[in-house]
C-alpha cells in the first residue's frame, strides 16, 4: 500500500470528521464556500487584480461564479453569481467575465469536474511565461502528481469561443495546466480537491524557481511523486477547513 509520511490510505480516511467531534467549520452555504475559495486562493498568490474566475457546478446543473467587477479578496457570499448551464445570469446584477466560455466548455466536456479555476497566479505564472514545466523538488510540491500540461498555442484572451474550446480540448483528462504567457488552470471534482491542486501548483512552482536560483538540484523521481500524491483524490486532510477558518477569523463577513 502506498504511504505518505507513515500514513496509509486507511489512516488518512480515519482522519475525516466524525459525528460527535467539534465541527471544523460552521455550516456554510454553497455561495459562502465559493467566496471562501476566492479569499483562500488570493492569499496563495492567485491575486492578479480583478483577473481570474472560479466556477462551481451544482448538482442541479447551475453554476456559481465570482463577478467580474470584484477582486477575490473582497468577495462575500452575497456577491457570488448563479448561472444556468449556458452561462446566463440567474440571480445577480453583477457582470460575468467574457472569458467564462472556457469554464462552460470545460464543464460540458468533463462531467467529472465540478470546479474550474483560472487566474494569472504569481509563481506558476512565471513558469507559464517561461513556457516550462516546473520540476517537483519536495513533498509538498508532489501532492498532486507529476503530469502538468503546457498549453502553448497562445491566441489571445479567452473571450473567443474557438480559442477557449481549443484550450478546453487540449486539457484532455488532466487536472491542471499552464497556459503559456497567460496563467494557470486547475479543475477538480469538488472545492476541496481543486483547492489542494491550486495551492500545490503554486508551491511546486515557487520551490522550483527558488531551487533553480540557488543553482539547481535533483528533482524527486516520478515514482516518489506518485507515492506522495495519494492525497490528490480527496484533498489533504483538514487543509481546506484550516485555510477557510483563517479567512473567517480575518473577515467573518465573508459568509454574508
pLDDT at position 163 is 57
- Assess whether pLDDT exceeds 60 at residue 208: yes
Does residue 30 or residue 237 have the better pLDDT? 30
List, in sequence order, every residue forming a beta bridge with 184; answer none if it has no partner: 119, 178
pLDDT at position 169 is 72
Residue 85 lies in a domain: yes
pLDDT at position 102 is 85
- The span from the CA of 135 to the CA of 205, in Å, is 8
pLDDT mean over 24-41: 97
The SS3 assignment for 151 reads strand
Q: What are phi and psi of 219, to 5 degrees?
A: -65, 165
Residue 6's pLDDT band, with cuts at 50, 70 and 90, is very low
How many structural domains comprise the chain? 1
- Assess whether pLDDT exceeds 80 at residue 161: no
Residue 16 lies in a domain: no
Least confident of 34-43, 81-90, 102-111, 209-218: 102-111
- The span from the CA of 34 to the CA of 77, in Å, is 7
Q: Which secondary-structure segment (H or E) carries 179?
A: strand 176-179
- Strands 150-151 and 176-179 come out as parallel
- Assess whether pLDDT exceeds 60 at residue 20: no
- The percent helix, strand, coil of the chain (3-state, each to 5) is 40, 15, 45
Each residue's pLDDT tens digit, 46-91: 999 999 999 999 999 999 999 999 999 999 999 999 999 999 999 9
Residue 120 lies in a domain: yes
Each residue's pLDDT tens digit, 216-242: 999 999 999 999 999 999 889 899 999
Asked whether the beta carbons of 116 and 107 are under 8 A apart, the reply is: yes
CATH number at residue 151: 3.40.225.10
Least confident of 24-33, 101-110, 127-136: 101-110
pLDDT at position 152 is 79
Least confident of 53-57, 72-76, 145-149, 158-162: 158-162
Percent of the chain topping pLDDT 90: 76
Residue 214's pLDDT band, with cuts at 50, 70 and 90, is very high
- The span from the CA of 76 to the CA of 111, in Å, is 28
Each residue's pLDDT tens digit, 163-194: 556 666 777 789 999 999 999 999 999 999 99
Nearest CA to 70 among 100, 31, 45, 39?
39
pLDDT mean over 126-132: 97
Residue 4 lies in a domain: no
- The span from the CA of 175 to the CA of 231, in Å, is 14
Residue 84 lies in a domain: yes
- Mean pLDDT over the full length of the chain: 89
Residue 14 lies in a domain: no
Residue 10's pLDDT band, with cuts at 50, 70 and 90, is low
**Enclosing domain of residue 88:** 28-255
Amino acid at each position: 500500500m502506498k504511504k505518505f509520511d507513515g500514513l496509509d490510505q486507511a489512516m488518512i480516511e480515519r482522519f475525516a470528521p466524525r459525528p460527535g467531534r467539534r465541527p471544523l467549520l460552521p455550516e456554510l452555504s454553497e455561495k459562502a464556500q465559493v467566496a471562501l475559495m476566492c479569499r483562500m486562493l488570493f492569499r496563495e498568490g492567485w491575486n492578479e487584480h480583478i483577473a481570474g474566475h472560479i466556477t462551481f457546478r451544482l448538482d442541479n446543473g447551475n453554476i456559481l461564479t465570482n463577478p467580474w467587477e470584484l477582486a477575490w479578496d473582497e468577495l462575500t457570499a452575497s456577491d457570488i453569481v448563479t448561472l444556468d448551464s449556458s452561462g446566463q445570469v440567474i440571480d445577480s446584477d453583477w457582470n460575468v467575465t467574457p472569458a467564462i466560455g472556457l469554464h462552460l466548455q470545460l464543464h460540458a466536456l468533463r462531467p467529472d469536474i465540478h470546479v474550474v479555476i483560472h487566474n494569472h497566479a504569481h509563481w506558476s505564472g512565471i513558469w507559464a511565461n517561461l513556457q516550462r514545466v516546473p520540476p517537483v523538488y519536495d513533498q509538498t510540491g508532489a501532492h498532486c502528481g507529476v503530469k502538468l500540461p503546457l498549453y502553448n498555442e497562445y491566441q489571445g484572451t479567452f473571450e473567443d469561443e474557438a480559442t477557449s474550446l481549443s484550450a478546453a480540448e487540449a486539457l484532455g483528462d488532466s487536472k491542471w495546466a499552464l497556459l503559456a504567457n497567460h496563467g494557470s488552470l486547475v479543475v477538480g471534482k469538488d472545492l476541496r480537491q481543486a483547492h489542494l491542486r491550486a495551492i500545490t501548483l503554486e508551491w511546486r512552482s515557487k520551490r522550483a524557481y527558488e531551487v533553480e536560483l540557488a543553482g539547481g538540484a535533483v528533482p524527486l523521481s516520478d515514482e516518489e511523486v506518485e507515492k506522495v500524491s495519494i492525497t490528490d483524490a480527496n484533498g489533504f486532510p483538514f487543509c481546506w477547513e484550516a485555510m477557510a477558518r483563517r479567512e473567517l477569523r480575518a473577515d467573518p463577513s465573508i459568509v454574508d
